Amino acid sequence: MHAVPDVRPDAHAPAARRHPLLRARLLEAKYEFLGLLRTPIFALPTLLFPAMFYLLFGVAMNRGGGAGQYLLATYGVFGVMGAALFGFGVTVAMDRDQGLLALKRALPVPPGAYLASKMAMALLFSAIVSLLLAVIAATLVGVSLAPAQWLLLWAVHVAGALPFCALGLYVGTLASGAAAPVVVNLLYLPMAFLSGLWLPLSMLPDALARLAPAWPSYHHAQLALKVVGMDARQAVALHLGVLLAVTFGFFVLARARLARRG
């Protein structure tokens, strides 16, 4: 009699090999990240603009008074917003125009892998942006934080990408590939300015400063500023509640639009 070969999964094999669906999702996320990393029109502004602005205003024009520490927190939010809004809003709109979403539905791709890969891409770019700003702050500006503060600030920056991923996804379901960059910029730049990311709200006209809590970027910035001790002393639960509501609200709206489009 011939021995029956043992075809059971190797317990010592990597998890991705033992779970094909997990491997498929990881590969989808890997190639989404590499694809955008090799796209200069996305990767260069996303990774370098926050660092360039921080070098200009946090280093070259820094006159002390905690500006470097404040801008480290807020420019991190600015960079994360860009990675999430452009990474979702523009790419989803272009994928729709090119018929890639229809192709994905026809391929044997695990459910949710498309959106999960874009989420992973946005979080990876956000992590790189936040880390780059931290290196500049520590080496060139002299910002000194406790190790736990550095780690918490990085985590707040990266996790804060999620509301803007949802907002970008909704924009991607509304706008065409040609119009999406314009729509995203019309959201991105005013929100950054009106939320106190470029300069403190005390330097804005009072009427504009009072509107700051209407923007999700304000609440993300306040969480980041709380880590470095420069926030407006509002409740953390308020900021978390707004960001969670924005995340789930726009995700539900985007999912409904995608479902109506088949």
Name which residue leads in pLDDT, 65 or 217: 217
pLDDT digits (tens, 9 = 90+) for 4-38: 555 455 555 555 455 666 676 677 777 777 887 78
2 inside domain:
no
82 inside domain:
yes
> pTM score, two decimals?
0.86
- Consecutive H or E run containing 183: helix 180-194
The first and second tokens of residue 14, run together, are 């990597």
4 inside domain:
no
Q: Which domain holds residue 131?
A: 17-260
pLDDT digits (tens, 9 = 90+) for 29-47: 777 778 877 888 888 888 9
Number of domains in the chain: 1
pLDDT digits (tens, 9 = 90+) for 72-113: 999 999 999 999 999 888 988 888 888 877 776 766 666 677
104 inside domain:
yes
112 inside domain:
yes
Q: In the block, which residue shows the tokens 């927190």? A: 73
8 inside domain:
no
6 inside domain:
no
127 inside domain:
yes
State the burial class of residue 4 (Cβ atoms within 10 Å of its Cβ: 0-12, 13-18, 19+). exposed
